[in-house]
Chain A
Amino acid sequence: MTAPSDQLRETARLWAIRVADVDFSDWDGFTDWLAADPAHAAAYDRAADAHAAADALFDAPPTPLAEPAAAPRPSRRRFLWLGAGGAIAAALAVTLGLDMTAPDPSAPYTIATEPGARRTIELADGSRIELNGDTRITLDKAAPRFASLDRGEAMFHVRHDDSDPFVVMVGDDKLVDAGTAFDVMRSARTTRVQVAEGKVIYNPDLDKLALDAGATLLIEPDGVTLGRMTPGDIGGWRTGTLVYAGASLATVSADLARSLGRPIDVAPAIAAQRFTGTLTLGDGEPSATLARIAPLLGVVPAPKGEGWILTSPNRAQP
């Protein structure tokens, strides 16, 4: 299986283009070329495969979100539609104040925050997304009612539109707003959704789970847990207040790392330990804040790298 020479590859490519045409009729000429060398048939198949793969690049991308009803699908008009996306993108760019020297339709873009930093994004439709520290979110200019939370935590204040629901993807999970403010956190192993106002539908195509105000949803590798909390406590990180009811220390330490802006690990032995209570972070130095709240959590912080590791007070840690 040696690769065909450049010349053979290009000849095969030309035949693949000719044969693919609806009006192609030179079948005997094609047969003569194929019969001239057994390598020609393989080169032709390779070219036809490559062209099929290239054609597939222009298939409409899969869309997990409800497209606007007016979006024309016929292929002849697709580029016009992308053009319209450009207009929306331009409007969005102005709102976001992004550096958009070369606005390009249908391009996803990401916004990320450093650990310890926060940022608010105003969307063109009046929706607002508040990003916690160490958070990355992907938006798409061609789909202004879509966001993907890649990592970290964000509070969504969504302007509701029954005909065009706002969709948030969190990994494979899909959240659809039904008139809403809600908080979403994603870490390597955990996704957490907390609804402050209105209603969110979790995976409308699969689970069809309606979460109303005060509902919490915790998705972990070993299962999904539904819970409740006071709606006013949701998104407390925005004011430096973290409220928990039976959260694992792994979750708490990840929240602390985002808010304090330093890496905070937790010793495996106590990672699953649960915490219920309120942590007030304040504006002090991260080290002072952590020293103050560690007794509440029942842990001892030990320096590790640029941050800390939370350890059990009952045993000496390396």
Chain B
Amino acid sequence: MTAAPTTGLEAILLDNRARLVRFLAARGAGDHAEDVFHELWQKIAGQPERPVAQPMSYLFRAAENLMRDRHRADQARARREQDWQESDGAPAPPPSGERVLLARERLRQAEAVLTGLGERADAVFRRYRIDGMGQAEIARDLGVSLSTVEKDLQKAYRALDELREQFDAE
């Protein structure tokens, strides 16, 4: 792999090594930041060459995704170990028919939480999550500042967190 000519993105990656390693270390990789950087480099080098509009944002995003993947893998492993320990006498999952109805009921309650946020925050969250719009686009659309959009999303996610805590307690 070292023999392959470096592409534009690879060159930018190597030029910004210190910046990205600092990010990875702070992001939770700690002493393993160099290892994760190497993993990132292998990912980028393995990709076919294509134009990237914002190369630095692209590389940071790739680094962030890598850290999220590692975090999820850690969590899945911890859950498996816990399931293994608790597998005796664990309640059976509800039948699939009830699961469907439960999911529908939860969707309905989540909808009600959004409605309860007030008109603007409700619209912001729906555009963001349901319609997949960017935050700047939503701000333009509704004629508010980006900071207002962020605060509305913060309010929505906080309320949904509380709803999920209720579900977990059930």
Q: Mark A93-131, 1 if CB is under 8 A from B, else 0.
A: 000000000001111100000000000000000000000
**Contact indicator A142/B104 (Cβ below 8 Å):** yes
Q: Mark A72-89, 1 if CB is under 8 A from B, else 0.
A: 000110110010000000
Contacting residue for B98 out of A14, A19, A45, A148, CB 8 A: A148
A231 CA / B114 CA spacing, docked (Å): 51
Contacting residue for B97 out of A17, A50, A170, CB 8 A: A170
Instruction: Give the total number of A-B pairs whose CB atoms are below 8 A apart.
Output: 127
**B23 proximal to A (CB < 8 A):** yes
A128 CA / B136 CA spacing, docked (Å): 52
**A221 proximal to B (CB < 8 A):** no
Q: Which residues of A contact B105 (CB under 8 A)?
A: 107-108
**Contact indicator A23/B108 (Cβ below 8 Å):** no
A82 CA / B68 CA spacing, docked (Å): 33
Q: Which residues of B contact A170 (CB under 8 A)?
A: 97
A314 CA / B96 CA spacing, docked (Å): 43
Q: Mark A9-40, 1 if CB is under 8 A from B, else 0.
A: 01001101111011111011011001100001
**Contact indicator A148/B129 (Cβ below 8 Å):** no
A174 CA / B96 CA spacing, docked (Å): 10
Asked whether A50 and B161 contact (CB < 8 A) given A27-B23, A35-B26, the answer is yes
**Contact indicator A28/B153 (Cβ below 8 Å):** no
**B87 proximal to A (CB < 8 A):** no
Interface residues, chain B, with chain A CB atoms under 8 Å away: 19, 22-23, 25-28, 54, 56-57, 60, 64, 68, 71, 75, 95-101, 103-108, 110-111, 126, 129-132, 134-136, 150, 153-154, 157-158, 160-161, 163-164
**Contact indicator A21/B110 (Cβ below 8 Å):** no
Contacting residue for B130 out of A35, A42, A79, A148, CB 8 A: A79
**Contact indicator B130/A13 (Cβ below 8 Å):** no
Contacting residue for B107 out of A10, A13, A106, CB 8 A: A106
**Contact indicator A31/B150 (Cβ below 8 Å):** no
**A310 proximal to B (CB < 8 A):** no
Q: Which residues of A contact B100 (CB under 8 A)?
A: 61-64, 169
Known pairs A17-B135, A51-B157, A64-B96 / 8 extra A-B pairs, C-beta < 8 Å: A17-B153, A18-B150, A44-B27, A54-B160, A54-B161, A57-B160, A108-B104, A169-B100
**A171 proximal to B (CB < 8 A):** yes
Contacting residue for A45 out of B28, B54, B107, CB 8 A: B28
**Contact indicator A57/B157 (Cβ below 8 Å):** no
**Contact indicator B27/A34 (Cβ below 8 Å):** yes
Q: Which residues of B contact A57 (CB under 8 A)?
A: 106-107, 110, 160, 163-164
**A309 proximal to B (CB < 8 A):** no
Q: Which residue of A lies closest to B60 (CB)?
A: A27
> Can you list 5 contacts pairing A with B, beta carbon distance less than 8 Å?
A14-B154, A57-B107, A61-B107, A106-B104, A140-B104
**Contact indicator A104/B108 (Cβ below 8 Å):** yes
**A306 proximal to B (CB < 8 A):** no
**A172 proximal to B (CB < 8 A):** yes
Interface size class of A (residues with CB under 8 A): 35 or more
Interface residues, chain A, with chain B CB atoms under 8 Å away: 10, 13-14, 16-19, 21-25, 27-28, 30-31, 34-35, 40-42, 44-45, 48-51, 53-55, 57-58, 61-64, 75-76, 78-79, 82, 104-108, 138, 140, 142, 148, 150, 169-172, 174
A16 CA / B156 CA spacing, docked (Å): 13
**Contact indicator A28/B19 (Cβ below 8 Å):** yes
Q: Which residues of B contact A55 (CB under 8 A)?
A: 129
Q: Which residues of B contact A171 (CB under 8 A)?
A: 95, 97
A23 CA / B157 CA spacing, docked (Å): 20
Among B68, B97, B101, B134, residue most surrounded by chain A Cβ atoms (within 10 Å): B97
Q: Which residue of A lies closest to B101 (CB)?
A: A108
Q: Which residues of A contact B25 (CB under 8 A)?
A: 35
A105 CA / B115 CA spacing, docked (Å): 14
Asked whether A62 and B99 contact (CB < 8 A) given A14-B154, A17-B154, A54-B164, the answer is yes
Contacting residue for A169 out of B95, B110, B135, B154, CB 8 A: B95
**Contact indicator B26/A34 (Cβ below 8 Å):** yes
**Contact indicator B104/A61 (Cβ below 8 Å):** yes
A56 CA / B107 CA spacing, docked (Å): 9
Q: Which residue of A lies closest to B104 (CB)?
A: A61
**Contact indicator A23/B19 (Cβ below 8 Å):** no
10 smallest beta-carbon distances between A and B, as pairs: A169-B97, A61-B103, A34-B26, A54-B160, A41-B28, A35-B26, A27-B60, A171-B95, A57-B110, A148-B97
**Contact indicator A79/B126 (Cβ below 8 Å):** yes
